[in-house]
Chain A
Amino acid sequence: MGALDFIVALIRAAVFNGTPLMYGTSGEILTEKAGNLNLGVEGLMFMGGAFGLLGAFTYGNAMGDSANGVVAVIIALVCAFAAGCFGSLIYAFLTITLRANQNVTGLALTIMGTGVGQFVGEMMRLKVGGNVAISNALKLAFANSPFPQALQNIPVVGPLIFGYNVFVYLGIIMIIVMHHFLAKTRKGLYLRAVGESPSTADSAGINVTRYRYFATVIGGGISAIGGMVYTMTISGTVWNHTGLSGEGWVAVALVIFCLWKPINSLWGSVLFGALLILYIRLPIAFIPTQIYKVVPYIVTALVLIMVSIRQRREDQPPAALGTAFFREDR
C-alpha cells in the first residue's frame, strides 16, 4: 500500500467516523446558540441510535423482501429525529418553562437517554435471540454512496469525494443550511440574540421561550440522528451496547472546539473522527489506546486556552449560555 493510498484511507476513515459527530455537534451548536447548554447529547445519541435501528428493523421485518432501502433510511432518520426531539422536549420543558438548572437537567437526560437506548436495544436483541440485524439489501442502502459507480471509480477524487454513505452528504447540506440560517436570516439573528442576551431579545419583542424551545428540540433531534448514523454505519446496523458510549461527550467537546460555529463542525468533526480512530490506523506500540482516546479532549482544552488568551469576542460562547430567563427577574 502506497503512501497516497494510506492517506486516502485515513481521510475516508476520518470522515466515516466523524459523521455521527457532525450531527451530534451541529445539533448541540443550534441548542447552545439559543442559550441552552444541553449536556444530554450522549443520552440523545443513544436514543437516536436505538430508535433509528428499531424503525429500520421493524420496517424491514414487516415488508420482508419488498422492503425499499431509501424508505428504510428515511424511517431511520425520522425515528431517530423524533426520539431526539422527544428527549430534548423534556429537557426544554424542565429548563425553559420550569427554569430548572441546565447542567443538572442535561446530565439527567444523559442518564435517562442511555438507559432508554440500552433498554430498547437490548429488548430488540432478546426478541430476535441474538444480534439485531437488518437484511443485507437494506444494509447497503445505509452503507453505499448515493453517487453512480463511475464517479466513485475516479482515482483519489472518487473515494475522497463521492465514496461516502448518504449521511455524510446530508450532514454537509444540513450544516450549510444551519450556517446560512444563523448568519444570514432574520430568524437566525434573533435566535443568536436570545442566546446572547435574552432580556435584550425579549425587550425587542422576540419570543424567547419559543426560540429556545425551537432550537433545543430541533437541535436535540439533529444530535440524535448522529447516534442513528453511528449504529447504522459504524457498528454495521447492529445494536452494540458499548459502541456509542462517549460519542455524545466528544460531540459536546467538539462544540467548544468549533467555537459555536456550525461551519467549523464540517472539518472539526473530520479531525475528531481521525483522532478517534488514530489508535487503529497509526498505532505506536508503547502508547496505550486509552491515551489516544483522551486526545480529542486535550485538543479541546488547548483550543479553550488559545481562545481565552486571544480574547476575541466573536469566539466566546453565547453570553447567556446556561442561564434561564424570567422576564420579571430583577
Chain B
Amino acid sequence: MDKVHAVELKGVTKSFGSNMANKNIDLFVDKGEIMALLGENGSGKTTLMNILAGIYLPDEGRVFVDGKEVTIRSPKDAFDNRIGMIHQHFKLVDVFTAAENVVLGLEGTGRLDLKAASSKVREISRKYGFDIDPDKKVYEMSVSEKQTVEIIKVLYRGADILILDEPTAVLTPQEIEKLFAVMRAMRRDGKSIIIITHKLNEVMAVSDVVAVLRKGEHIGTVRTSETSPQALTEMMVGRKVELNIGRKDPVDPKPRLTIAGLTVRDSEGVKKLDDVGFIAFGGEILGIAGIAGSGQKELLEAVAGLRKIESGSIIYTPEGKAPAELVGKTPMEIKDAGVALAFVPEDRLGMGLVGGMGMTGNMLLRSWHKGKGIFVDRKAPEKLAADVMERLEVVTPGIYYPVRKLSGGNVQKVLVGREIASSPSVLMSAYAVRGLDINTSYTIYNLMCQQKEKGVAVIFVGEDLDVLLELCDRILVLCGGKVSGVVDARNVTKEQLGLLMTSVGGKEEN
C-alpha cells in the first residue's frame, strides 16, 4: 500500500527575514503524473519549487526522491537527483546558442564537442516534438523558443521530475497547446511534472492532481477530475469568490480618441502598424486582441507619444474640451492631458518601475515634476503608495521596500495601481493581468470596469480571449499591424476572434 513517491516534501519551512514563505509543507508527486501547483501571488509556490531546484535551502523539513531522503544544497544536487526546473524568468545566456546553453554545467571532457551536443538536442526534439535549431543564438529566439531550450536543457540532463514555473504566462494559445502536448508526451514517458500556473482552465486541461497553497501553507491536494474551478478558487483564496465581471452597458459613449491612418515603423524600418484607424469611446472598454507581436505594443506606445509616427492622426477629445491632435506632442504633454499607459512588459520591471526604489519612489515617478520649489514632495506619493497597497492588497513589508524584491504579481499591482490612481480620461493597459492570480486578476478587471463607469475610455490589450469577451464592450483585432476587424464583444465567439487574429478580415487563406 505504501507507494514510493517520485518526490516528497515533509514539513518544509522557509522564511526570508520575518516573511514566512513556506510553513510546514507536506507534498508529494507520483511518477507519470502532472501536478498543478496553485496559489495566489506570494503564496510561496515559487519558493517551494526553488527549494526542490536547489536555489533555496529550506530552514526546516525533509525532501525525499524515490523514497530516499536527499539534501539539495545546490542546483547541481537537484540535477543529480534528476530534478530540473524551468524558471519563470528564463535562465539562458543570450549570446550563446541553444546547444551551448544546453550543455552548460555538464561534466565531461575538457574539449567542448558542440556537434555531439547539437545532435543530441535534435534527438530530444524529435522524441518530444519540439522544433528548434540548436545553433541559433538565444537572443534571436522568440519567447516560446527560449522556453523550448529550457525544457530541452532539463531533459538533456535526464531529469525525471520537471518543474515549470508559470510556463504559459508569455505564450500564445497555440504555443500553450503545443506545450501541453509535450507535457503529455513526457507524462507517457513516466516523468513527473509540477506546473505552476494561475490559469484555472489550464489546470483543468492538463493536470492530474492539484495542490493548493495559501499564504505559505499547503491547503490540500485534490484530483483534477474531482474538482471544479470554483472549488479550487475557494481553496486558493480561502473564501467564496465571485468569478464574474460585472459588465454594464456603456452609458452615453462619446468619441474620446479618434485614430486614423496610423502608420508606425520600428527602428529597422519594418511596418509595425499599417493604416490603423478606430475610435475609442469614453465609458467603454475597447479590447485589443491579436497574436503576440501584431502591433499591440506599438499602438499603445504611439498613442502615448513614445514612438515616432510616420503618418496618421490621433485626435483626443477630453470631456468638455476642444479636440486636440496628439501626434507631435511629447509623452509628458500627452500624459498631462489625461492619457495614461500601464504597460506590463514581459519582464515586468523593464519598463515603468525602478526596481531598487520602494513603492513611494515609484509613485513619485509620475508626479515629480508637479511639486513646487526645488524639493520633492514626498507626502502625496506616500499617501498614494499606502492607498494602492491597501486597495490592491499588495503584499510588501512596507512602502519603502524595494519593488524588485516583491513577487511578480505584487510588482504588477504597483504598476497598474499607479496608473489608475492618476485618474486619466484614457487608460491604456497591456497585459495588465499577466502572471497574476485569479483573485487579483478580477480585482484588476473590476478596477477597469470602475474606470469605464466613470466615463474613462479604457483600452485593454489582453491575451486571454475568454476574458476579453467577458470584460470588453468592443474588441479590435490586429493582424500583422493591420486592423483585422472591430467586433461587438457581446455578439462574437472565440472562434470568430481566432479567425480574425490569423487573417485580415477573417477570411480563410487560400
Q: Give the nearest-CB partner of A186 in chain B.
A: B112
- Closest beta carbon of chain B to A205's beta carbon, Å: 3
- Closest beta carbon of chain A to B108's beta carbon, Å: 6
Q: State which residues 97-127 of B face A: CB under 8 Å.
A: 100-101, 103-106, 108-112
Q: Which residues of B contact A316 (CB under 8 A)?
A: 95
Q: State which residues 101-124 of A face B: CB under 8 Å.
A: none
- Closest beta carbon of chain A to B226's beta carbon, Å: 35
- Closest beta carbon of chain B to A7's beta carbon, Å: 38
Assess whether A314 is in contact with B109, with CB atoms less than 8 Å apart: no
Q: Which residues of A contact B55 (CB under 8 A)?
A: 202-203, 327-328
Q: State which residues 129-160 of B face A: CB under 8 Å.
A: 137, 139, 153
Confirm or deny: B79 has a beta carbon within 8 angstroms of a beta carbon on chain A: yes
Given contacts A196-B93, A202-B75, A205-B75, are A186 and B100 in contact (CB under 8 A)?
no
3 closest cross-chain pairs (CB), A and B: A204-B105, A205-B76, A205-B105
Pair count A-B, CB < 8 A: 81
Known interface pairs A187-B110, A193-B93; 4 further A-B residue pairs with C-beta atoms within 8 A, sorted by A's residue number? A196-B94, A202-B55, A202-B74, A313-B95
- Closest beta carbon of chain A to B88's beta carbon, Å: 12
Given contacts A203-B75, A313-B137, A328-B55, are A185 and B112 in contact (CB under 8 A)?
yes
Residue in contact with A328 in the complex, picked from B56, B85, B109, B404, CB distance below 8 Å: B56
Q: State which residues 165-218 of A face B: CB under 8 Å.
A: 184-190, 192-193, 196-197, 199-206
Report the Cα distance A202→B139, complex, angstroms: 20
Q: State which residues 302-330 of A face B: CB under 8 Å.
A: 313-314, 316, 319, 327-328, 330
Q: Give the nearest-CB partner of A202 in chain B.
A: B75
Q: Which residues of A contact B104 (CB under 8 A)?
A: 189-190, 193, 200-201, 204, 206
Report the Cα distance A316→B139, complex, angstroms: 13
Assess whether B112 is in contact with A184, with CB atoms less than 8 Å apart: yes
Q: Give the nearest-CB partner of A200 in chain B.
A: B91
Q: Can you pick out 13 interface pairs between chain A and chain B where the beta carbons lie within 8 Å of each other? A: A186-B108, A186-B110, A189-B100, A192-B93, A192-B96, A197-B94, A203-B53, A203-B55, A203-B91, A204-B105, A206-B104, A330-B16, A330-B404
Assess whether B92 is in contact with A200, with CB atoms less than 8 Å apart: yes
Report the Cα distance A330→B408, complex, angstroms: 10
Q: Which residues of A contact B404 (CB under 8 A)?
A: 330
Confirm or deny: B45 has a beta carbon within 8 angstroms of a beta carbon on chain A: no
- Closest beta carbon of chain A to B42's beta carbon, Å: 11
Q: Which residues of A contact B79 (CB under 8 A)?
A: 205
- B residues at A contact (CB < 8 Å): 16, 53, 55-56, 74-76, 79, 85, 87, 91-96, 100-101, 103-106, 108-112, 137, 139, 153, 404-405
Residue in contact with A185 in the complex, picked from B53, B76, B96, B110, CB distance below 8 Å: B110
Q: Which residues of B contact A199 (CB under 8 A)?
A: 91
Assess whether B111 is in contact with A193, with CB atoms less than 8 Å apart: no
Q: Give the nearest-CB partner of B92 in chain A.
A: A200
- Closest beta carbon of chain A to B318's beta carbon, Å: 40
Q: Give the nearest-CB partner of A329 in chain B.
A: B405
- Closest beta carbon of chain A to B4's beta carbon, Å: 26
Report the Cα distance A187→B100, complex, angstroms: 12
Assess whether A319 is in contact with B110, with CB atoms less than 8 Å apart: no
Report the Cα distance A100→B100, complex, angstroms: 31
Q: Give the nearest-CB partner of B109 in chain A.
A: A186
| Most chain A C-beta atoms within 10 Å of own C-beta, residue among B53, B96, B104, B110 | B104
Report the Cα distance A278→B29, complex, angstroms: 71
- Closest beta carbon of chain A to B94's beta carbon, Å: 7
Q: Which residues of B contact A328 (CB under 8 A)?
A: 55-56
Report the Cα distance A187→B75, complex, angstroms: 18
- Closest beta carbon of chain B to A183's beta carbon, Å: 9
Report the Cα distance A259→B79, complex, angstroms: 35
Q: Give the nearest-CB partner of A318 in chain B.
A: B95
- Closest beta carbon of chain B to A198's beta carbon, Å: 10
Q: Which residues of B contact A190 (CB under 8 A)?
A: 104-105
Residue in contact with B95 in the complex, picked from A188, A196, A201, A205, CB distance below 8 Å: A196
Assess whether A196 is in contact with B110, with CB atoms less than 8 Å apart: no
Assess whether A319 is in contact with B94, with CB atoms less than 8 Å apart: yes
Report the Cα distance A137→B436, complex, angstroms: 76
- Closest beta carbon of chain A to B89's beta carbon, Å: 9
Q: Which residues of A contact B109 (CB under 8 A)?
A: 186
Assess whether A203 is in contact with B85, with CB atoms less than 8 Å apart: yes
Report the Cα distance A193→B101, complex, angstroms: 9
Assess whether A330 is in contact with B95, with CB atoms less than 8 Å apart: no
Q: Which residues of B contact A327 (CB under 8 A)?
A: 55
Q: Give the nearest-CB partner of B112 in chain A.
A: A186
Given contacts A186-B109, A189-B103, A328-B55, are A204 and B95 in contact (CB under 8 A)?
no
Q: Give the nearest-CB partner of B57 in chain A.
A: A328
Report the Cα distance A309→B108, complex, angstroms: 39
Q: Which residues of B contact A330 (CB under 8 A)?
A: 16, 404-405
- Closest beta carbon of chain B to A174's beta carbon, Å: 18
Report the Cα distance A187→B354, complex, angstroms: 36
Assess whether A204 is in contact with B96, with CB atoms less than 8 Å apart: no
Q: Which residues of B contact A206 (CB under 8 A)?
A: 104-105
Q: Give the nearest-CB partner of A184 in chain B.
A: B112
Report the Cα distance A196→B139, complex, angstroms: 13
Q: Give the nearest-CB partner of B137 in chain A.
A: A313
Q: Which residues of A contact B112 (CB under 8 A)?
A: 184-186, 188-189
| Most chain B C-beta atoms within 10 Å of own C-beta, residue among A185, A189, A204 | A204
Given contacts A200-B93, A327-B55, are A313 and B111 in contact (CB under 8 A)?
no
Q: Give the nearest-CB partner of A187 in chain B.
A: B110
Q: Which residues of B contact A319 (CB under 8 A)?
A: 94-95
Given contacts A187-B110, A189-B100, are A204 and B91 in contact (CB under 8 A)?
yes
| Most chain B C-beta atoms within 10 Å of own C-beta, residue among A193, A197, A203, A206 | A203
Q: Give the nearest-CB partner of A327 in chain B.
A: B55
Report the Cα distance A330→B232, complex, angstroms: 28
- Closest beta carbon of chain A to B483's beta carbon, Å: 32
